[in-house]
Amino acid sequence: MEIDWPALRTAARTAMGRAYVPYSNFPVGAAALVDDGRVITGCNVENASYGVGLCAECSLTSALFGEGALFGEGASQRPRLLAVSVVDRNGDPLMPCGRCRQLLYEHGGPGMLLETVSGIRPMAEVLPDAFGPDDLISRS
């Protein structure tokens, strides 16, 4: 599947404009192409309790299972992230934090593509030797 990276980055920039960042003044936006054809977005949302704010990738993942998702009854599988772009306040690619890399890996797998500060990379390179759902399967 052809990924329109400029369009994803534009969608991430638009999402970044909706960020709620009264404390850090550091808006972040994220956009993803989903295997069901949707383009979803998310932005960071802060609160006075600093540590429990939501990264843009968290709200992006919530959108994965939100409106329009083909998951559950009648769907053959859960939706998966194919490609993700995360941008900073200047609209430039931004590397997700460790927690968000794990979250993206969980919902995109090792082959999910991420636009990073050093180019497009699969999650297997961004988070090598990642812990994932398969690690929870009994190996007896």
User: 57 an active-site residue?
Assistant: yes
Specify whether the CB–CB gap between 43 and 24 falls below 8 A.
no
Q: Which two tokens stand for residue 130?
A: 């990642």
Catalytic residue among 57, 67, 106, 125: 57
Instruction: Identify the DSSP state of 20.
Output: B
* CA–CA distances in Å: residue 16 to residues 56, 92, 128, 139: 8, 11, 28, 42
Q: Catalytic positions, please?
A: 57
